Structures are given as structure tokens and as C-alpha cells.
A and B are shown apart, each in its own frame.
Chain A
Amino acid sequence: MSAARRHDRTSTWDGIRLTARRELVERTRRDRAFLISTLVTLAILFAIIFLPRLFGAGDPKEFSVGLVGGASQPLGQVLTAQGQAIGVRLKLQQPASAADAEAAVRDGKLDLAVLDGRELVAKAEADEQLNVLVQGAARGVRAQQTLERAGVGQGDIQAALAPPPLPVRSLEPVDEDAQSKRRIATVAVFLLYGQLIGYCVAVATGVVEEKATRVVEVLLAAVRPVQLLAGKIIGIGLVGLLQLAIIGVAGLAAATAAGVITLPPDAAATIASVLLWFLLGYGFYSSLFAVAGAIVSRQEEVQNTTTPLNLLLVGSFFVAFSTSLGNTDTTLSKVTSFLPPTAPLVMPLRIAAGDAALWQVAVSLVIMLVSIVAVVILASRLYEGAILRTGARVKLRDAWRGARRQPAAGRA
């Protein structure tokens, strides 16, 4: 009795392992689509990382300022110093006359001209940052000159006009990596969404393929429906996980090399968390997509039956994406990071941004795991009830009722 049962269990795992292995081999080694989609995703990722640098974003701003007349000259030194302090480079020029300066401004060779220390000339509206900078410098020079005329000593003038900067006391610890974390989180949301929808749809189309080509009948003569379903989901999931890991590691390496982000010390944990939440999201959605595939008989019909699931994923993506743009610590993001359909996209974002408390992650994980078990049980029964019915689309109620009765002989 126990020997027979052990034998049966071994063959159950064999069936799952073999079908999973087939998906893995056929989809990676035998199909160029895997390589191509990996490269395309990496290309897009690299474009996001490197293009802004090619177009000069992130470089310090640079302005050309013309100083006309002796009264304007004292501004030069002050401007250069203050510009450096806030990361703006200033190129100073000395046009011969006000007319020359105006011509240069008109031609765009100068961003701003200072006429005799009394008037600023801009082409249209002056750049706000530059304006503030020049106005401040002018104010400082005027104050210095006034103080000098009043006979105040140089030391006092310095103390009055250039006091040491006030120290800043932060109420919460400064996270030096905050910006990097946010960037990683945003990219992670995109990747998770892309992988989830891509590989869940692959499950649905894979199921329909077996049904449409009737190969399912040959397969079910050798394995049980639940083995076939489990093997397919696991195999395709591994392909998705492998691709996500490749993209994640390559992306982080490239972004660090380009200096777009500084690799946070817990980068490995971030990748692990993204992979984990991919698995959880995939575990939740994939079996439902399998049902969407099992209830139809032709590849064209699967678009219709997967639509509600796609919408659910798109909705989750928008919640996560809008969260990633602004404050990640909102009520919406907190609530959705606990709900199974949205949590796989929202929770990893909150984790990456450093907002989620450990207990919150734990609770969300438990909710997720429990609902995955429930969904998989439900979905495998529906799959079993629908997979051999060809022709018209199978109603879910019929699929539920039509699930194959367990073979009594096999259990005896």
C-alpha cells in the first residue's frame, strides 16, 4: 500500500517536472523569441538609462553674462563664486558698449547683460535662476559699497555680508540613496508589470495551443490535468524569472556604470524582493490566465477571455506607477499593497522606496500566499472541467461542474 502510494507520488512529480522542463527548453533554447525579447527589454532599459546623458541632462547649467561698464565689473567675482555654490557655471564677457551687449543678447550669444550695474537686459523673460543669482550679486555689491562709504571696516563687512552658512538639523535620518531607490523602484514596477502580463499571457496561449492542436488529449492519456497545468505554469514561470533576473542584474550594472544611480548597499535584497513579488504575482495570476485559455478552443478567442485579467493587471500597474511618481506613502498605496491583485506591483515599490514596515510586508505576504492557494485550487478545477471541451466557449459554471471525477480505481 505505502509502496504503491510512493510510486504514484513519484510519477506525479515526474509528470510536473517533465512538462515544466519542456516549457523551459522549448521557450529558451528552441525559441529565439526569448533571446529577442530579453535583448529588446534591455535595449529599452539602456535607452532610459543612457539617453538623458547623451542629451546633456544632468550636466550643470551654463549661462553667458555680459558686464558692460566699470560699475558692472565688481559683480563678476561675486557671480562666479555664488554660481559655483549652487552648481551653475557662468561665462562672463565684457562687451564694449551697451549696443554691442544688446545685439549679443538679441542673437542669443548672451543670456543676460548688466548695463553699468543699473539695468539688466534679457531677450524676453530672463531665466529665473539666473535673474535671482544676478539680482542677489548686485544687492551684495551695492551693500558692500554702501558699507565701505560709511567707513565700516572690511572685517565687519565680511561678517555682515558673508556669514558662515547656518547648519541644518534633520529630524529624520537622511537616506543618501533615496533617489536611487526611487528610480530602481519605478523601473522595477515597469519590469514586474511587463513580465507578469507577458508570461501570464504566455500561459493562456500555451494552454489554448495544446487545446487547439489536440495535443492535450495525447498528454492527458499520460498525465493528469493538474500535473499538466502545474508543469506548464512552473515551466513558463521559470522562464519569466530567469529573464527578469538577467534584466535586473544587467540593468542595475549598467545604471551604476552610467552613474544614474548609486548602487544601494541592499541592491541584492531589492532584486530578490522584485523576483519574489514576480513569483507571487505570477502565482496569483497565471492559473487564472490558464483558465482563460482552457475555456476557449482557438487562439483568436483567448484575447477576449483574458481581457478582465489584463484590466486587473493594468489597473494595478497604474496604481503602482502613479504611486512611484509621487509620494509612495499614501493611503491608496498602503491599502493596495495588501490586496492580492494589486500587491505584487505596489508592495515591491513600497519596499524599494523604503516605506513598508516589516510587519506590513509580512501581513501582505501571508494574504498573498493564502489567496494564491485558493486561486490555484479554484483554477485547477475549472481548468480540468474545461480543457477537453472543444467548440463553443465553455461557461465557467459548466467547467466547475464538468471537472473530471477522481478515478475511483486509481485510489483503491
Chain B
Amino acid sequence: MLELQGLSRRYGDVVALDDLSFTVRDGQMFGFVGPNGAGKTTTMRIVLGVLEPDRGEVRWRGRPVDAETRRRFGYMPEERGLYPKMRVRDQLEYFARLHGLPTADAERAAGHWIERLGVAERAGDRVEQLSLGNQQRVQLAAALVHDPEVLVLDEPFSGLDPVGVDVLAEVLAGRAAEGIPVIFSSHQLELVERLCEAVAIINHGRLVAAGPVEELRSSGGQRRYQVEVADAGTDWSDGLEGVTVLEKANGRVVLAVDGDEQRVLDAARAAGRVVSFGAVQPTLAELFRQAVQE
């Protein structure tokens, strides 16, 4: 279990993180979302010890994380970091050794991930000679090569083609299945929703919401309904008492309803032939927008 407890960090007068706490369980795919500048990268840098917090601490398996523990973490920074002139295999072996692997293990691990991520035929090339997509694969391999106990990835999916996204998602799911906490940030909320068991949403350095995705979606006092009435347009729902119109599109309306939903159904039937009427849960994107606006 990776615990972030009361992390605060300022850059001069700017508050980057303000008392941020959340927990990532073993084997959990954990999405970390928030608008640009919310403090995601700062948080990840603190977890990796690249940056020190002003207050608060990070605990792994119940103990404060020190330099020795951090060497067993895997990290993929948002702005990719590789030596452009170093050869792929050399580079991965170097990172593995830097993380404490003996030479033979480092060579084996580099070979394995080069193979696994499909860059085997470029293993002897300098990184700068690779396409951006392949560089990203090497970057991922650099985060995985020392068989880390914890994976922290900053925007790992940005810039990948759909095939690359699938490969990466598969690899990450595989790591999580082995009991490793996998925490990654992303702006692709549909992807986060699809892959992650739990998320944390932050804004202005503060935690806005955290927990299993299902819980977040079903929480909140209002229930939502999507209604489609044939040939009646969408204006029939205007002005209903206790009802907030969330969305109107293609003859469908999404409504947040306080209390009894049957009177909404009555109003719909009065307007025309009801094609569909069903409860819907908010998407992560909607939760996100809501959270960020508040």
C-alpha cells in the first residue's frame, strides 16, 4: 500500500500542493487526474524523491520511503527523459544497474523488455534515431526494467497510437495483476475510466475526490436519467420542478432529479411517445468537470 499523507509543497509564493493525501492499494490501477497545473507532476516527483515536500510524507508498506526504497520504484516522467545519443540496450542496462540490479540481471531484464515492447530490432540504435512512438516504448521499458515494486507514470499514454495504447494498457494491467500498485496521470478520462479501479482528482494542489471509480459515480444526492421522447424535441423538460437539465443532444435529455422520478416520466409521456427512459451514472469526465468547477 502506497500512502501519500498531507503532502504540501510551495514554489516560492506559488502553492503547488496543499495537504494532499490518498492511498493506492497493492495491485490497483490508479488514475490520477486534474487540470494542467493542478499539481500532478509535483506529486509524482515527490513520490519518487526527485522533489522533497515541505510537509507530509510518503509511506510504502507502512514505512516512510527512503532513498533505498525508492530505487525499487519505477518512474516515467511526463517530459520524456532518455540520453539521445545512447544506444537503446546500453541505456536500459544502465538504468537497471542504477536501480541496483547486478550486471547479469540488468542485461537479462533489458533484453526482456526490449522484446516485450517490440523494439528488439532497434536495440543497437541510438535513441535519437528512433521514432517518437518507439522512444516512448523505450521510456516505458526504462521504468519497468528493474522490476519495480511501485510504478508511477506521468501521462504515459499521451502521444501513443491506438495500438501503442493497447500494448501499454496490457503491460500495466499485467503489472497490477502481479500485485504492484500502478499509478498514472492522464487527461484521457475515458481511458482512465476503462482501466482504473480507483482515481484521485486534484485541483489547485488539493484533493477534490478520491476512491473507487464506481463509488464516485454512484455517490451524490441526485440521480440522473436519460430520456428520449420521439418527435417532441427536448424542450418538454424545461421548467419541471426539482429537475436540472444537464445535457440536451439529438432528441435526448439528461436530467438530474430530486425525489420521485415518476412525475418526470409522466411529463415525458405527456409530451409524446417515450422511446427510452433510464437511470445513468455520471462519466468520469462529468465528475471531473463538476469537481473542477466547484
Residues of chain A at the chain B interface (Cβ within 8 Å)? 7-8, 11, 14-15, 18-19, 22, 25-26, 30-31, 209-210, 213-224, 388, 404-405, 407, 409-410, 412
State whether A215 touches B82 (Cβ < 8 A): yes
CB distance from B233 to the nearest CB of A (A): 52
**B75 CB-CB contact with A under 8 Å:** yes
B197 within 8 A of A: no
Contact A218:B95 (CB < 8 A) given known A26-B85, A26-B86? yes
| Closest chain B CB from A229 CB (angstroms) | 15
B52 within 8 A of A: yes
**B25 within 8 A of partner (CB):** no
Whole-angstrom distance between the Cβ of B267 and the nearest chain A Cβ: 56
Q: CB within 8 A of B73: which of A18, A221, A407, A410?
A: A221
Describe A's contact surface by its main secondary structure. Answer: helix
B80 at the A/B interface (Cβ < 8 Å)? yes
Complex Cα–Cα for A8 and B70 (A) = 12
Residues of B within 8 A of A8 (CB): 67-68
Residues on B with beta carbons closer than 8 Å to the beta carbon of A409: 57, 64-66
Question: What are 22 contact pairs spanning A and B, CB under 8 A?
Answer: A8-B68, A11-B71, A14-B100, A15-B98, A19-B98, A22-B94, A31-B85, A209-B84, A213-B81, A213-B84, A214-B77, A215-B83, A217-B50, A218-B142, A220-B48, A220-B49, A222-B71, A222-B98, A388-B51, A407-B49, A410-B66, A410-B68
B260 within 8 Å of A by Cβ?
A: no
Cβ-closest chain B residue relative to A222: B98
CB distance from A60 to the nearest CB of B (A): 54
Which A residues are CB-close (under 8 A) to B45?
217, 388
A218 CA to B74 CA in the complex, in Å? Answer: 9
Give chain B residues whose Cβ lies under 8 Å from the Cβ of A31.
Answer: 85
A45 to chain B, nearest CB (A): 28
- Chain A nearest CB, measured from B131 CB (Å): 17
Structural contact, B99 and A222, CB atoms closer than 8 A: yes
Give the distance in Å from the alpha carbon of A52 to the alpha carbon of B222 in the complex: 96
User: A residues within 8 A CB of B49?
Assistant: 220-221, 407
A216 CA / B66 CA spacing, docked (Å): 19
A8 to B68, CA, bound (A): 7
Q: For the complex, what is the distance from the CA of A134 to the CA of B57, rounded to whole Å?
A: 96
Least CB distance from A239 to B in Å reads 15
Q: Contacts A220-B49, A222-B98 given; 6 further ones with Cβ under 8 A?
A: A11-B100, A30-B90, A213-B81, A214-B80, A221-B50, A409-B57
Decide yes or no whether B87 CB sits under 8 A from chain A: yes
Question: Interface size on B (CB < 8 Å)?
Answer: 34
* Interchain nearest-CB distance for A214 vs B (Å): 4
- Please determine whether A407 and B50 come into contact, CB atoms closer than 8 angstroms: no
| A8 CA to B84 CA, complexed, in Å | 31
Residues of B within 8 A of A216 (CB): 81
Interface presence of B187 (CB below 8 A): no
Which B residues are in CB contact (< 8 Å) with A213?
A: 81-84
**Pairwise interchain contact B57-A219, C-beta atoms closer than 8 A:** no
A411 to chain B, nearest CB (A): 8
A404-B52, A407-B66 given; A18·B86 CB < 8 A: no
Instruction: Contact check, A221 vs B70: say whether CB atoms are below 8 A apart.
Output: yes
Query: Which residue in chain B gives the minimum CB-CB distance to A217?
Result: B77
Q: Nearest 5 A-B pairs (CB), nearest first?
A: A409-B64, A410-B66, A215-B81, A214-B81, A221-B48
Residues facing A in B70-112 (CB within 8 A) are 70-71, 73, 75, 77, 79-87, 90, 94-95, 97-100
Contacts of A210 in B (CB 8 A): 83
Cα-based distance from A217 to B70 in the complex (angstroms):
13
How far apart are A65's CB and chain B's nearest CB, in angstroms? 67
Residues in B with CB closer than 8 Å to A224 are 67
Most buried by B among A18, A30, A216, A409: A409
Residue from the list B67, B82, B87, B95 in contact with A407, Cβ < 8 A? B67
A388 to chain B: closest CB distance in Å?
A: 7
Q: B68 to A7, Cβ gap below 8 A? A: yes
B67 / chain A contacts, CB cutoff of 8 Å = 8, 11, 224, 407, 410
Q: Give bound CA distance, A215 to B77, whole Å.
A: 9
Q: With A and B bound together, what is the CA distance between A388 and B80 in angstroms?
A: 14
A362 to B87, CA, bound (A): 45
* Residues of chain A within 8 A of B80, CB atoms compared: 214
A218's nearest neighbour on chain B, judged by CB, is: B81
Docked CA distance A355–B100 (Å): 51
Once bound together, how far apart are the Cα atoms of A220 and B47, in whole Å? 12
Which residues of the partner chain B approach A218 to less than 8 Å between Cβ atoms? 75, 77, 81-82, 95, 142
Cα A223 to Cα B49 in complex, Å, equals 10
Residues of A within 8 A of B99 (CB): 222
Minimal Cβ-Cβ distance residue in A for B143: A218
CA distance A407 to B49 in the complex (A): 8
List chain A residues, Cβ under 8 A from B77: 214, 217-218
Closest partner residue, chain A, to B41 (CB atom): A217
Chain A residues near B98 (CB-CB < 8 A): 15, 18-19, 219, 222-223
* Pair A18/B94 contact, Cβ less than 8 Å: yes
Can you name the residue of chain A whose Cβ is closest to the Cβ of B79? A214
CB neighbours (8 Å) of B83 from chain A are 26, 209-210, 213, 215
| Segment 37-73 of B: residues with Cβ below 8 Å from A | 45, 48-52, 57, 64-68, 70-71, 73
A221 touches B75 (CB 8 A): yes
The answer for the CA separation of A14 and B71 in the assembled complex, in Å, is: 12
Q: Specify which of A18, A30, A209, A404 is in contact with B97 (CB 8 Å cutoff).
A: A18
User: If the complex has contacts A7-B68, A405-B52, A409-B57, are A222 and B95 also in contact, measured as CB distance less than 8 A?
Assistant: yes
Residues of B within 8 A of A18 (CB): 94, 97-98
Report the minimal beta-carbon distance from A8 to chain B, rounded to whole angstroms.
7
Contacts of A217 in B (CB 8 A): 45, 50, 75, 77, 79, 81
Closest to A17 in B: B97
- Docked pose: A388 CA to B67 CA in angstroms: 17
Task: Say yes or no: A30 contacts B87, CB within 8 Å.
Answer: yes
Kindly report which residue of chain A lies nearest to residue B139, judged by CB atoms. Answer: A218
Task: Find the A residue at minimum CB distance from B99.
Answer: A222
Q: Which residues of chain B come closer than 8 Å to A388, judged between CB atoms?
A: 45, 50-51
Shortest distance between the CB of B255 and any CB in chain A (Å): 46
Task: Name the B residues within 8 Å of A19 (CB-CB).
Answer: 98
Output the nearest chain B residue to A404 by Cβ-Cβ distance: B52
A30→B77 CA distance, assembly (Å): 26
How far, in angstroms, from A407 to B52 measured CA to CA in the complex? 7
> In the bound complex, what is the Cα–Cα distance between A8 and B50 (angstroms)?
18
